Structure 1
Amino acid sequence: MKTNVVIVGGGYAGVMAANRLAATGRSGLDVVLVNPGERFVERIRLHEYAAGTRNDPTVSFASVLNPDVRQVRDAAERIDAGTRTVQLAGGRRLEYDYLVYAVGSGRGKVPEGSYAVEQFEGADEARRALAGLPPGGRVAVVGGGLTAIETASETARRYPGLSVGLHAAGLPAPQVGAGARRGLERSLRRMGVELHAGTRVPASGDPRTHLGADVVLWCAGFGVPELAAASGLPVDAAGRLLVDPTLQVPGQERIYGAGDAAVIAGADYAYLRMSCAAAMPMGADAATNILRSLDALPAVRHDSGFGGQCVSLGRTDGMVQFVTADDTPVRLHVHGRTAAVLKEIICRMTLRWIRNEAKRSGAYTWPKGPRRTTATAQQQAPAWN
């Protein structure tokens, strides 16, 4: 009997889920990956591409996907859980027995006149804009998170003749420890990045005028597609698909969520941040629970954690903040060339983990999450509307 599994989204979570399913070689299992792009984008390298230090942040899907995964180059417009179909922008309708919602994140509200580097299109536009600036041009990077810091530092290293400023609403890298942040700020100042804490950019008007910049690179947070909400599926205030600890949508036993566009409800999972480090384990577990459902086995509860937060500060500098499983920073942190090498190793390993999973289902493993106390385990489950 044929089983159709449709995976919506070709990012880290979607590709990992597709590989874990297809690499089983299970008879009758048809795995379909729906994604509008023709190549897999290494989003963790988009700041390098925007700054001009990397020529291509993409690889072919053929190089990362199990050959039994069937690709459909299109965008999903609506998921109809009642009929178990996905309406595509090109007019086609796909039927599914199981669906993995892994559409990822993208640009949120970006003021006109600025470039969002967290998507390939925005990074490509930013790359051209930076390359066209004359010496002495001013670049403003908006945001205080790790993406903003990497973008500002990569740009300053690549274009020492430009004036680069990092404009954050609060402290830069608020998620790291105080010692790590001091070292990070020293590195930024050494390369000439001006730090501006407490910057608020008005919602209206051209941010270039407000910030006195020729180019504004927007790194002030991710948004998610509206597909889940438009399909009548449960979402949180940010529009992310709500799932239970088995990554299943409550009331929809054939729909699973993984990656940035999905969130596990409940205090137990509040530590999971939007990142490929969280997306890939979620994608793997979503696939595992589909396989377990096919075998009439109980679903497993998702369990993943973190080991560190890695930041590149150009090609020869970096910062690694070690953390507990729930992403709490510890005293240990590493800076300089050693940290840059560690960051590069992890970036390269990310593709290797995906490719290993394409060859053997279950090859990818990850750090476990924090231990759940008895009190936490007995907390009341969230109410679903």
Structure 2
Amino acid sequence: MGTTAVVLGGGYAGVMAANRLAAAARPGLDVVLVSPGERFVERIRLHEYAAGVRSDATASFESVLHPAIRRVRDTAVRIDAAGRCVRLAGGRLLNYDYLVYAVGSGALKVPEGALTVQQLEGAEDTRTALEALAPGGRVAVVGAGLTAVETAAEIAAHRGDLHVRLHTDGNPLPQVTAAARRGLERSLRRTAVKLQSGVRVSGSGDPHLRLQADVVLWCTGFGVPDLASASGLPVDQEGRLLLDPNLQVPGEERIYGAGDAAVIASPEYAYLRMSCAAAMPMGADAAGNILRGMDGAPGIRHDSGFGGQCVSLGRSDGLVQFVRADDTPVRVHLHGRLAAVQKEIICRMTLRWIRSEIKRSGAYTWPKGLRMTTAEQTQAPAGR
């Protein structure tokens, strides 16, 4: 009998996991990727697309997926862990021997009338709304994180005829050092982004009237689908699937998780934030542990860390905050054109890393996290 591995989600984590599984070329292993989208979305470029700088922020799935992967264009609505099957929105049932839960994230609840850029549909709506604005139009971006800052700067740099204001309830990019933030604020001033910090923007009422803006972009964070909770799987208070350090669901040895919609429920992994930089290593390790389980070998603890956070502030300006493996910032940071180039290199390399797994399972490597002993790295055997 063959073995079926179903991957839910066609983002960075899901595609990486599917490629690592398929490229291993195990006899009888059938890899199925379930994703509703027609194309792979480069989410790290959606702010460029929304601002009108980039003509497209997608790639064909054929260009990023191993040819042996079967792709199902649909959405999972329920997982039956006991029966090892997934019900799809179209009514189909998919049986699995192993499952990778990598359904990703989207915007948190958005006020009526506001737009988002966290997913392709929202970025498309934002692009259309901005194109319709005449010179002098007012744009309000709400949020203090990476998405909000990059979006505000990109719009202002590309559309110097618009008035762009960034509303934050605290400091913009609170994770960077004070010195790096001063450089960030200088860059925002150069692009004519007006910073309104320290004031929380309510999500009630008409955001256009409250913020006196023609277009309001809501970039206050990410939420995840309720698929895991609706399926009776363990989740945290944000609805993310709970995992052990082997990226398995406790008590469900055939279900693994990766990416924004999953979280390792151990304090030593609290530094792993929702990001492409965390999603791809998780996807790779989830796939690796499935392959180990098929061989009867023990799974390994996930081990990934960060090297820096790259921020684009328009096409010719940026910020790179270097960090320790646990994502805490160090004193070293870059600004200006060099930082913008570094950000662009990382964006381009992301697709190359994903495609590297098509040629050889295990080709992708990443910065390691906090040091662990050999005994800590090896856990009980993964399920077969």
TM-score by length of structure 1 reads 0.96
Distance 2:4 2:283 in 1: 17
5 Å-filtered alignment, 1:159-174, equals 159-174=159-174
5 Å-filtered alignment, 1:1-385, equals 1-372=1-372
Moved over 6 A (4+): none
Match of 1:383 in 2: none
The alpha carbon displacement at 1:371 in A equals 2.1
The alpha carbon displacement at 1:373 in A equals 8.7
The alpha carbon displacement at 1:248 in A equals 0.1
Q: What is the one-letter code of the residue matched to 1:317?
A: D
The alpha carbon displacement at 1:197 in A equals 0.7
Contact 1:138 1:163 in 2 (8 A): yes
Contact 2:224 2:261 in 1 (8 A): yes
For residues 120-150 of structure 1, the C-alpha deviation after alignment (integer angstroms, 9 at most, x for no partner) is 0000000000010111111000000011110
The alpha carbon displacement at 1:358 in A equals 1.1
Distance 1:169 1:75 in 2: 35
Distance 1:204 1:139 in 2: 18
Q: What is the one-letter code of the residue matched to 2:128?
A: R
Number of matched pairs: 375
Distance 1:373 1:92 in 2: 45
Q: What is the one-letter code of the residue matched to 1:127?
A: R
Contact 2:110 2:203 in 1 (8 A): no
The alpha carbon displacement at 1:116 in A equals 0.9
Distance 1:311 1:281 in 2: 20
Contact 1:36 1:75 in 2 (8 A): yes
For residues 7-60 of structure 1, the C-alpha deviation after alignment (integer angstroms, 9 at most, x for no partner) is 000000000000000001111000000000010000000000000000000000
The alpha carbon displacement at 1:208 in A equals 1.0
Q: What is the one-letter code of the residue matched to 1:310?
A: C
Q: What is the one-letter code of the residue matched to 2:317?
A: D
Contact 2:77 2:87 in 1 (8 A): yes
Distance 2:153 2:171 in 1: 16
Q: What is the one-letter code of the residue matched to 2:94?
A: L
Distance 1:131 1:158 in 2: 11
Aligned-partner SS, 1:299: strand
Match of 1:382 in 2: none
Distance 2:81 2:333 in 1: 46
For residues 66-123 of structure 1, the C-alpha deviation after alignment (integer angstroms, 9 at most, x for no partner) is 0000000000000000100100000100000000000001111011111110100000
Distance 2:139 2:36 in 1: 31
Match of 2:379 in 1: none
Contact 2:305 2:369 in 1 (8 A): yes
TM-score by length of structure 2 reads 0.97
Distance 2:99 2:275 in 1: 21
Q: What is the one-letter code of the residue matched to 2:137?
A: G
Aligned-partner SS, 1:116: coil
The alpha carbon displacement at 1:314 in A equals 0.5
For residues 292-342 of structure 1, the C-alpha deviation after alignment (integer angstroms, 9 at most, x for no partner) is 000000000000000000000000000000000000100100000000000
For residues 261-293 of structure 1, the C-alpha deviation after alignment (integer angstroms, 9 at most, x for no partner) is 000011100000000000000000000000000
Distance 2:272 2:183 in 1: 25
Distance 1:317 1:129 in 2: 25
Contact 1:101 1:256 in 2 (8 A): yes
Contact 1:268 1:372 in 2 (8 A): no
The alpha carbon displacement at 1:372 in A equals 4.6
For residues 332-381 of structure 1, the C-alpha deviation after alignment (integer angstroms, 9 at most, x for no partner) is 0000000000000000000000001111100000000012599xx7xxxx
Distance 2:6 2:270 in 1: 28
Aligned-partner SS, 1:115: coil
Bigger Cα displacement from structure 2, 200-209 vs 328-337: 200-209
For residues 158-193 of structure 1, the C-alpha deviation after alignment (integer angstroms, 9 at most, x for no partner) is 110100000011100000011110000000011100
Contact 1:248 1:255 in 2 (8 A): yes
